[in-house]
Amino acid sequence: MNASPRIITLTTDFGTSDAYVGIMKGVILRINPNVQIVDLTHAIPPQDIYEAAFSIGAAHSYFPKGTIHIIVVDPGVGSDRRAIVSRTGGAFFVCPDNGVLSYLLQSVKNEGGQPIDSVAIQNSAYFLPEVSNTFHGRDIFSPVAAHLSLGVSLDDIGPPVQTLVQLPIQVPELTDGTLTGQIVKIDRFGNAITNISETAIARLKSASTGGTSTYEIRVGSVRLQRFNRAYAESGIGKPLAIIGSSGLLEIAINAGNAKEGLGIKWGDPVVVQRFD
């Protein structure tokens, strides 16, 4: 590993009204004052491991090789839940082993990417001198990440881990011209992001028996007959389906809030059906 400077990202459910995030940054900078810290998000809903898993899964590939990602959404802090460092594709993930890497693990499996090497965080030489039962983000994850940024190896952090905790994430199913998935995130605009990828939709289209096919996208009581290329292709206040920036199907309202306007929520099923 190269010495500093390195990039460390922070993903937490701490918000920004308290000093927790700033304290974590202070711990990191005392160990490596040359590191660059990026706030990925601190607006994960409290204890929402699914949201944290989705966020890091969607964001990590946009950072340079060697980036260290700290994820602290940790309802089991102070318990016997394991703390880990995982490495894949040159990136490092410092986090509790509670499922926050589930989308990352799924993408590596689906895309045949580089394997994930993981170790349990056990070497207290890389912790703060005193470790509380309620703030491992400060006392364990931040100092471990900072030491990694200075070139400490995974072998020095702790012993290998063979399996990681994974959340039961649904994979979209394609059967008989019907693609079934679910809403996996509601963003701050109220857009409902699904787990149905542009690639999955392309497979649905390629399975057409010929001729001109039409499509219907269904979620709740909403029925949509086309995929937009831009939000503005639909009238103001009108619902729409679009492939968003993450390459996933979104249900939105042009200049509105789909969550509120359509009464949809996380976990709701979404169906894309082809008619030949």
Measured torsion, CA atoms of residues 32, 35, 41, 43, in degrees rounded to the nearest 10: 30
Residues 75 and 133 reside in one and the same domain: yes
Residue 112 has pLDDT above 90, yes or no: no
Q: Is residue 1 part of a domain?
A: no
pLDDT of residue 111: 61
Residue 89 has pLDDT above 90, yes or no: no
Q: Which residues, at least 6 apart from 107, have a Cβ–Cβ distance to it below 8 Å?
A: 57, 113
Residue 37 CA to residue 149 CA, distance in Å, equals 11
Q: Which tens digits make up the pLDDT trace of 184-242?
A: 999 999 999 999 999 999 999 887 776 678 999 999 999 999 999 999 999 999 999 99
Burial of 159 (0-12, 13-18, 19+ CB in 10 A): exposed
Closest by CA to 154, choosing from 85, 100, 104, 96, is 85
Q: Is residue 195 part of a domain?
A: yes
Residue 1 has pLDDT above 60, yes or no: no
Residue 4 has pLDDT above 60, yes or no: no
Q: Is residue 258 part of a domain?
A: yes
Burial of 171 (0-12, 13-18, 19+ CB in 10 A): exposed
pLDDT of residue 113: 61
Residues 39 and 138 reside in one and the same domain: yes
What average pLDDT does range 41-52 have in this prediction? 97
**Domain count along the chain:** 2
Residue 137 has pLDDT above 90, yes or no: yes
CATH number of domain containing 197: 2.40.30.90
Residue 62 CA to residue 9 CA, distance in Å, equals 12
Q: What is the DSSP letter of 235?
A: P
Residue 239 CA to residue 251 CA, distance in Å, equals 7
Q: Is residue 2 part of a domain?
A: no
Residues 150 and 34 reside in one and the same domain: yes
Sign of CA dihedral 20, 25, 26, 31: positive
pTM above 0.85, yes or no: yes
Residue 70 CA to residue 34 CA, distance in Å, equals 17
Tell me if 148 sits within 8 A of 85, measured CB to CB.
yes
CATH number of domain containing 108: 3.40.50.10790
Q: Is residue 168 part of a domain?
A: no
> Out of 3-7, 40-44, 109-113, 185-189, which region has the weakest mean confidence (pLDDT)?
109-113
